[in-house]
Structure 1
Amino acid sequence: MLATQLANAEITHYVRYESDGASHYGVVDGDVIHTLTGPPWSGGVRSGASLKRQEARLLAPAEPRKVFAIGFNYMSHRGDRELPPHPPVFLKLPTAIVGPGAEIIFPAGADDVHYEGELVIVIGKTASRISAAEAPAHVFGVTAGNDVSARSFQAGDLQWFRAKASDTFGPIGPVIATGLDQTDLLLQTRLNGEVMQQQRTSDHIHDIYAIVSHISQYATLQPGDVIFTGTPGTTSAMKPGDTVEIELEGVGVLKNVIGRPADTD
């Protein structure tokens, strides 16, 4: 586990979980999840119900209507590419989103599929054409994410639909954290227990508030929408049976296993 310097911070963890066949939002208090009446960014409050954390199956902590992602947002990943004046934005699909413990399934024909550990922004308040200075008021919190990427599709397709937006290619979780210094958190990716990526989010080329502002100039961000903010360093391929963990300081560990590839159509 990452050493943390957040012991004195007032951090709150929010989850979405399944229990008795229904999904709920909740707030974590030690080993207990207190059920909320709705999403916390939409005024959800404690309903009075609760359960032990081990009794709940955690789901993706948000159900976004829109999923944005930023490319090449660390110099360690950008390499010799020219530095753009604005964050390079692409789209993933809401159906790519899965939660902790879910299998990542490679679609038929996908080869050279890589992990990309990232900080993920969760929007809490509608944002349209806002400035970077206004952006903090529109960010609810952050979670960890894996921008799973099929390099074989990425190299040959006109757009990155298959490469980046296939089903299960957007794990997020395990919690949404509020109360963090979202601009300076340690991010680490592990593949089968080996550290593959490690860098602080303070090394972002475009910080999270610049990203939110930029996207909002063109598309209205709505509560629950998410933004993947870019991956550091180098990446490598995963294979069926591998375990990939994305750990974000103050958030925890997002753990997924690579399942059997989908059947060829």
Structure 2
Amino acid sequence: MRIARIAQPDGLAFAAIEGDGDDLTAVEIAEDPFANPTFTGRRWPLADVRLLAPFLPPKIIGIGRNYAEHAAEMGNEIPAEPLMFLKPNTAVIGPNAEIKLPAASGRVDFEGELAVVVGVGGRDIPASRARQSVLGYTIANDVTARDLQKSDGQWTRAKGFDTFCPLGPWVETEFDPSDVAIRTEVDGVVKQDSRTSLLLHGIPELIEHISSVMTLRPLDVILTGTPAGVCPLSAGQTVSVTVEGLGTLTNAVGHR
């Protein structure tokens, strides 16, 4: 099931997204969309509603240097263990919302990523049952102020600006992430083109590693890392991240 949050004529709602291609329909969910959803019977063509971020995560755990070619392009070694960082949930925006470039940075990069949405959660989850802790998957753009990342020596400011974590367009609960294409385009030009099979640390390993440090809560988000090809963004551009089988997350870029 594809679960989205929408702005519809009467306000906000969760909805299941049905259909294929350009013929998509938002079917309103009556109660908790992530447990056992029931439906109100109301439905709208997707073109008649506005997609929002699917939810607000309690926390966002990022993984750095999880594709070998991206580590190389940044001049870094491959980490022996998953390299973790946190992004605040105040960085989250939805599809078609604007990424705001802060005056404090002279270089802000996109980083297209597959994102894992935690379901059951817990602590010390072994890799062998990590899949049971996953609710579904979505798409993320781990926007990063690259110059501040280098100058600060730690990543909180560089990763944490408002609007620096676009999520969406929905959560897909029936999805195999093991080997799918991931591609980022800026103004229609392909900048990143890779596959999730090239992740250095796979999703079960990430869940095991993260949960050995901190308890994973329902709707926490894990950003699995970005492929090679990151580039700076400029105001007026549009950046789109596509994950095969999930859809496309598109955001404009502007100034704060």
Shorter-normalised TM range: over 0.9
Q: Deviations over 1:75-130 (max 9, x none)?
A: 11111633333210000010101110000001221111111010011111122111
Question: What amino acid is aligned across from residue 73 of structure 1 in structure 2?
Answer: N
1:67 and 1:92 in contact (8 A); partners too:
yes
1:41 and 1:125 in contact (8 A); partners too:
no
Q: 1:216 aligns with which of 194, 211, 222?
A: 211
Distance (Å, rounded) in 2 between the aligned partners of 1:38 and 1:138: 22
2:109 and 2:146 in contact (8 A); partners too:
yes
Question: What amino acid is aligned across from residue 159 of structure 1 in structure 2?
Answer: Q
Name which of structure 1's ranges 29-38 and 123-132 shifts more when overlaid on structure 2: 29-38
Is the alpha carbon distance of 1:150 and 1:172 closer, same or farther for their aligned partners in structure 2, counting shifts above 3 Å?
same
2:9 and 2:49 in contact (8 A); partners too:
no
Q: Unpaired runs of 5+ in structure 1?
A: 1-11
Which position in structure 2 is the counterpart of 1:136? 131
SS at match of 2:252: strand
Name which of structure 1's ranges 19-28 and 156-165 shifts more when overlaid on structure 2: 19-28
2:65 and 2:79 in contact (8 A); partners too:
no
Distance (Å, rounded) in 2 between the aligned partners of 1:37 and 1:170: 28
Question: What amino acid is aligned across from residue 48 of structure 1 in structure 2?
Answer: G
Matched, 1:169 2:164: yes
Which position in structure 1 is the counterpart of 2:143? 148
Name which of structure 1's ranges 14-23 and 58-67 shifts more when overlaid on structure 2: 14-23
Matched, 1:201 2:193: no
Deviation at 1:59, TM superposition (A): 0.4
Q: 1:40 aligns with which of 27, 33, 44?
A: 33
Which position in structure 2 is the counterpart of 1:9? none
TM-score if structure 1 supplies the norm length? 0.90
SS at match of 2:65: coil
SS at match of 1:180: coil
2:113 and 2:225 in contact (8 A); partners too:
yes
Matched, 1:71 2:59: no
Q: Deviations over 1:104-160 (max 9, x none)?
A: 001221111111010011111122111011110111111111100111211111421
Distance (Å, rounded) in 1 between the aligned partners of 2:38 and 2:56: 18
Name which of structure 1's ranges 46-55 and 201-210 shifts more when overlaid on structure 2: 46-55
Which position in structure 1 is the counterpart of 2:53? 60
Question: What amino acid is aligned across from residue 137 of structure 1 in structure 2?
Answer: Q
Q: Unpaired runs of 5+ in structure 2?
A: none
Within-5 A mapping of 1:219-258 = 219-258=214-253
- Number of residues of Structure 1 aligned to a counterpart in Structure 2: 250
Identity across the alignment (%): 38
Which position in structure 2 is the counterpart of 1:16? 5
Q: 1:96 aligns with which of 78, 86, 91?
A: 91
Structure (1 or 2) with the greater strand fraction: 2
SS at match of 2:81: coil
